Amino acid sequence: MKSKLGMGLLAVFGLLVMLFNQPFLSIPKGQISGIPSILIYLLTIWIMVIGTMVWLSKRAGDQ
């Protein structure tokens, strides 16, 4: 797993584990437009991780 894609995906996984850890999950409180802010936080992080993984995969495919 010494490729740039492998290292990038490993970094994204590490960031995901850190952002889904208890201290970060306790930050969002309350509601935004009637939607619990924890749900918005989780969905935003999830979408950003998927987007980053797609970007890394396409970038590795171009090389």
SS3 34: coil
Strands 35-36 and 31-32 turn out to be antiparallel
- Which residues are within 8 A (CB) of 30 and not within 5 positions of it... i.e. 6 or more apart? 36, 37
Domain count, the chain: 1
Mean pLDDT within 13-37: 89
Mean pLDDT within 39-58: 91
For the cut 60, the answer to whether the pLDDT of residue 1 exceeds it is no
DSSP classification of residue 2: -
The radius of gyration of the chain from alpha carbons, rounded to an integer in Å, stands at: 15
Which pLDDT band, with edges at 50, 70 and 90, does 39 fall under?
A: very high
CA angle centred on 40, ends 36 and 38, rounded to 5°: 50
Which residue range is the domain that position 28 belongs to? Answer: 2-62
Q: Look at residue 2 in the predicted model and tell me its pLDDT.
A: 62
